[in-house]
Amino acid sequence: MKEPTTEIEIETSAVATILPPPLPPTASPHQALVERLKDYGQEDVFSLWDELSPEERDLLLRDIENLDLPRIDRIIRCSLHSQGLPVAAIEPVPENCVSTVEERTKEDREKWWKMGLKAIYEGKLGVVLLSGGQGTRLGSSDPKGCYNIGLPSGKSLFQIQAERILCVQRLASQAMSEASPTRPVTIQWYIMTSPFTHEPTQKFFKSHKYFGLEPDQVTFFQQGTLPCISKDGKFIMETPFSLSKAPDGNGGVYTALKSSRLLEDMASRGIKYVDCYGVDNVLVRVADPTFLGYFIDKSAASAAKVVRKAYPQEKVGVFVRRGKGGPLTVVEYTELDQSMASATNQQTGRLQYCWSNVCLHMFTLDFLNQVANGLEKDSVYHLAEKKIPSINGDIVGLKLEQFIFDCFPYAPSTALFEVLREEEFAPVKNANGSNYDTPESARLLVLRLHTRWVIAAGGFLTHSVPLYATGVEVSPLCSYAGENLEAICRGRTFHAPCEISL
């Protein structure tokens, strides 16, 4: 006679063989998630659910569950209905808010230079680089900072900027050696990438041994992304199982610094001031001691380098004052009507709205903390109309972005510092053959400026092509802004094009 337990096992086994196979765990989207998306009018993301494989369904669910839906919905609604600043609320920047080139004395420049070098020596300056963009418009899929604009040295934008940091560190150490024992000076460099540039940027730095910097003084962090939307606020699907997303603009740096806990990192290192700039300006004076000294001297919360508009209708954003006694802010050229853009200050002869924003900023760390909290609550983003990849091919849609200058309305005080275009602004945005802001135009601006430095230092040039098309490049390791070149250049002849290096 068989044991009862054995019989039970046999019967159970027999029943199991005739049960149907279990359904896939994601056979239908979770009803609670569907209802949540309906609340925000985004349930169309599931329109192709029945055509997806189990793996694709999982990918779509994960993509949606990673979204902060209440925040994104608030951003979409507020941004679509925002009207921007009314023209009546815009006034010219007061003259006393700007340090112009012509009013700056030699004594001012020397004082600010020394103040800046002292603060750098004391470790009070950190540098933030905005480097989330790819070189797509330049014909490259690499991060824009990897781009070589064709200088004699063949250096990338990243290398040029790293070497400027090395130069400032050396200058600060030398300047303070008389007052205190010489010691190494380190400037922390925080580099903001995007999901598209993060890994290749890190690899580029590692493969070039951080261009002479210490690896631990360079920190990489990623900006956030937001879904791309149609003009009626619906999510655009890049594939049937993924949303089309884009980086949240260079103003995403504030939230990214906070979420990465890098504001805390800066505080722990004793950093009090933060220099912030964009990667695509080959003439940028990274960690500029003069600008830093001016900023400290003015006791401002924020500051910006500005250049004068070249002509009234130039397509650049300009600084304005928001209402009587209000804060300074930046408006796009489209927000100024023709009469405002052409209006002239009768006392100075300058355009009333002449101070162009060129993404060269300085902030106190305290203010950055304030901005990170303020912008996190501010739901109005800029809407950029772009071609967006979708299931139906590229379509015209909207990217949601914050801009670096969105911080200025929060500032209790902002100081503007005029610089000359030909000395500090050589943008690299468009491919050669375009009308402006090309690698070729930037290369020539560098060569012309450095040629002037060499001639001023007593050097001579020979050239086999017209001088307007060539020149010399001075390595940042030799000179930061034209200083200390006499020993290298006086009485020497250089054949252009060439690089002058140590």
Helix (H) or strand (E) holding 265: helix 262-268
What is the crossing angle of helices 289-298 and 106-121, to 10°?
Answer: 100
345 is in an annotated binding site: no
User: In a 3-state reduction of DSSP, which class is residue 474?
Assistant: strand
Distance, CA of 316 to CA of 309 (rounded, Å): 8
CA dihedral 128, 129, 133, 136 (to 10 degrees): 180
Tokens of 432: 């050669």
Place of tokens 């299931």: 391
Q: Which of 168, 250, 182 is nearest to 217 (CA)?
A: 168
Distance, CA of 481 to CA of 478 (rounded, Å): 10
429 is in an annotated binding site: yes
Pairing of strands 225-227, 237-239: unpaired
Residues 112, 293: contact at Cβ < 8 Å? yes
Q: Which of 294, 302, 299 is nearest to 357 (CA)?
A: 302
Q: Return the amino acid letter for 146.
A: C
Distance, CA of 318 to CA of 341 (rounded, Å): 10
Q: Return the amino acid letter for 25.
A: P
Helix (H) or strand (E) holding 174: helix 157-176
DSSP code string of 396-418: EEEEEE--GGGGGGG-S-EEEEE
Plot region of 150 (φ>0 → left; ψ -120 to 50 → alpha; else → beta): left
Buried/exposed code over 272-303 (b: 16+ C-beta within 10 A; e: otherwise): bbbbbbbbbbbbbbbbbbbbbbbbbebebbbb
User: In a 3-state reduction of DSSP, which class is residue 299?
Assistant: coil
Residues 193, 223: contact at Cβ < 8 Å? yes
Strand partners, 242: 239
Q: Which of 303, 293, 416 is nearest to 362 (CA)?
A: 303
Question: How many other C-beta atoms lie within 10 A of the C-beta of residue 181?
Answer: 6
Binding positions are 250, 429
Binding positions for substrate are 250, 429
